[in-house]
Amino acid sequence: MNKKAIYIFFSVVFGVYFLLNYYLFIRGWQSFSIANYSRIIYSIIFFVVVLSYPLSIFLERTSWVKTSEPLIWIGSLWLGAMMYFFLIIVIIDFIRLLDYFFSFLPAFIFADGAIIACISIAVVMLLMIVGFINARNPVVKQLQIHIPKKANNFKELNIVAVSDMHIGMLIKHHMVKRLVKMIKELNPQLVLFAGDTIDEVLDPVIKYNLGEPLKTINAPLGVFAITGNHEFIGGIKNSIAYLESLGITVLKDEVIKISDSFYLAGRLDHDILRFTNKKRLGLEELLKDVDASLPLILLDHQPFHLDESAKHNVDLQISGHTHHGQMWPLNYITQAIFELSRGYIKKGNSHFYISSGFGSWGPPVRIGNRPEIVNIKLSFI
């Protein structure tokens, strides 16, 4: 992405961010009395929280990474809280509008704005706590798939697939170690990372070697990864180099034959054109030398155009990217954008699994879905 596009992007993002926060500030201000210091306290806390996110983004890209860590946590949690505060205000205003026309509520309900504000704060804090605990406790999804092809040396294949780890200042050694432990307990023959293994700010990842525990994964058939959009945001060359330093083979529009038994194909991310002005290979060109009699597994980070994969006889595609919205009700948006936002679907003879991901982006919170790794057991004829 060129500098002009980056400036435009961040100008739009922060423009929306500050406008939304200005609206929330005004509505909160109206809830507190003028006669005491509540508005002063409210204003100080609000501006510290709101400014923590943009300030942390700046500091995270400098040598002051450790200094920025508390601000990263505060700012990231505020992103989630901000959305729910906005939803609560919309709901309250909608109820007020209905009450204006139908007068069905007692007068005292909206008499004291401070009480409503305190209840709203308590609700949002509870959501953030529950969502944070949920985001830190991933589950294993089990999937059994039969592919009616011979795989020469294999009758069965045990795969662990992981997407959207987002290793960074919020997903550090502790969570990476937990992932590695979960993978090892499943004793996979093949481990696949389906993109966004690293978050978009690469400097602290390299400086503190946050992905180091991944080195200890020992799968007999190998550990492979593809790029996601966040590897491109962070700098694709350095992202790939870092992943490969951990003993992970990164497939960049490549197809390899494993143990003379099946194919593994990995695509560059769908957004490559936006970041590099280059195009990725089409599936027809990518798979032109594949022997269709052998099983074919495809890694493609963003689950667009599933029909195209089915058309080209992909037996199993593993994707991620969606986080299934990560926080309700954003899942309705991902469901509208993608044919499948999470889970399994079969189209023709092709099987697809879209993972909700292991980590989180933005708020370290998940509400309405669980973080996961996927244990896929393939059987062949």
SS3 348: coil
- If you ran DSSP here, which 8-state letter would residue 189 be given? S
Q: What is the pLDDT of residue 5?
A: 59
List of residues 6+ apart from 30 with CB closer than 8 A: 113
Q: What is the pLDDT of residue 63?
A: 60
* DSSP strands (E only) in the chain: 139-147, 156-162, 190-193, 223-225, 249-250, 254-258, 262-266, 296-299, 316-319, 343-347, 350-354, 372-380
Q: What is the pLDDT of residue 274?
A: 87
Integer Cα distance of 22 and 33 in angstroms: 19
Q: What is the pLDDT of residue 343?
A: 97
SS3 378: strand
Q: What is the pLDDT of residue 89?
A: 92
SS3 120: helix
pTM: 0.91
Structure tokens at 230: 């966040």
Q: What is the pLDDT of residue 331?
A: 97
How large is the angle between the packed helices 38-60 and 65-102, nearest 10 degrees?
Answer: 130
Q: What is the pLDDT of residue 9?
A: 66
Q: CATH 3.60.21 region(s) of the chain? A: 139-380
CATH 2.60.40 fits 139-380, yes or no: no
pLDDT in tens, 52-84: 988 887 777 666 566 778 889 999 999 999 999
Contact of 353 with 316, CB cutoff 8 Å: yes
pLDDT in tens, 297-337: 999 999 999 999 999 999 999 999 999 999 999 999 999 99
Report how far apart the first and last C-alpha atoms of the chain are (Å, whole number).
46
The ranges of the chain with pLDDT < 50 are: none
Q: What is the pLDDT of residue 361?
A: 94
